[in-house]
Structure 1
């Protein structure tokens, strides 16, 4: 097991071994059953915040979250971000508390990461949209689209448009499947970027990230679907926005360890 995998195990062990989580989730489900959705959601958001904070304290990292002009309220949007590795998920779950908007409702779209880490659907009361399990015989795209649009009626969905964990700090080209749904049904995009997560690995090319001990999570801007006449332009605008912000952050990371 490599160094990065050890950190992933440590990260996902926190919700199972810290007593706050079973107690908090129990109260959350009681509130959910009795119709107190706001309090249920607020508990879940706080647990996500505690999760990320605990992991960063244990590993000696700090977070630089820049909200910019992002408005977390509302629904029917995709929140997109690059996906380095599984250590980014606690940041996503904690986003309402990071933005000081404790009642924001978010869902999450993912494939194998949901199957691997059961704490994610538990903390979100299963308001999860699972990526289509591709099958040569029965690719159920219709139900997938229906699930996405249903969830968007009550909350926004966070997803990784690269379609997989990249295990590199480079932003990879976006996959088109879910993004086509977004464009077709006029779903706006809030674009985020995360940087520094590969500092948890033992790869020499990321040794400077170990020294900086800072994780950057920045809002890049919004993409309005109605402003683009073609899907290709809509997709390229989101990809360019994320990559440009990533380059800005990487310049900060390098200067932080060379001064």
Structure 2
């Protein structure tokens, strides 16, 4: 087992070993059953924040979160971010508390990461959106409309447009499946980027990230579907926004190590 895998095991052991999680989730379910959705959602959001904080304290790292002009209110949006490895998930789950908006309602679109790490469905029990089965020849528009669009009426949905963990700090091209459906149904994008997660690995290429001990999580900007005449332009704008912000962060990472 490599160094990165050891950190992943540590990260995902926290919700199962810390007594706060079973107690908090139990109260959350009770509130959900009794119709107190606000308090159920708030408990889940706090647990996500506690999860991220605990992991960063244990590993001696700090987070630099920049919300910029991101407005967490509202719904009917996709929140997208690059996906280096599974350690990014606690940051995403913690986003409501990081943005100091305890009642932000988020759901998640994903298959592999939800199936691998069962704590995510437990913490987001209210509305989990499983992976949309999609192919270029037979796009599953029916499932998208009935599941995803239904959830978007009350909350925003987070997803990874690269479609997989990359295990590299490079942002890979976005997959067109779900993004193509998003454009068809006029869904706006809030773009985020994470940088520094490969500092948890023992790959020599990222040794400077290990030295800096800082993980960056920043809002890049929003993409309005109505502003683009084609899917290609819509997708390219989102990719460019994320990649440009990533380059800015990499400059900060290098300067921090030099100091």
TM-score range, shorter chain: over 0.9
Counting matched residue pairs gives 259
Match of 1:205 in 2: 205
State the Cα distance separating 1:179 from its structure 2 match: 0.7
2:237 corresponds in structure 1 to 237
Asked if the contact 2:132/2:178 (under 8 Å) is kept, the reply is no
Q: CA RMSD in A?
A: 1.6
Q: Deviations over 1:198-230 (max 9, x none)?
A: 000000000000000000000000000000011
| 1:73-84 superposed matches below 5 A | 73-84=73-84
Hey, what does 2:124 align to over in structure 1?
124
* Unaligned ranges ≥5, structure 1: none
The aligned runs of 1:43-192 (5 Å cut-off) are: 43-133=43-133, 140=140, 142-192=142-192
Q: Answer whether contact 1:174 1:239 (CA < 8 A) is retained.
A: yes
Q: 1 CA distance for matches of 2:238 and 2:134?
A: 25
* Structure 2: distance between partners of 1:126 and 1:55: 24
Unpaired segments of 5 or more residues in structure 2? none
TM-score by length of 1: 0.97
Q: Which runs of 4+ in 1 moved over 3 A?
A: 132-135, 138-141
**Equivalent residues of 1:44, 1:124 under 8 A apart:** yes
TM-score normalised by length of structure 2: 0.97
More divergent stretch after superposition (123-132 vs 165-174): 123-132
Structure 2 SS opposite 1:149: helix
CA contact (8 A) 1:27 1:40 kept: yes
User: Per-residue deviation at 1:134?
Assistant: 6.4
Residues 30-39 or 139-148, more deviating: 139-148
The equivalent residue for 2:253 is 253
C-alpha contact (below 8 Å) 1:21/1:47 kept by paired residues: yes
DSSP-derived class of the 2:146 partner:
helix
Are 1:110 and 1:131, in contact at CA under 8 Å, matched by a contact in 2? yes
Displacement of 1:18 in angstroms is: 0.1
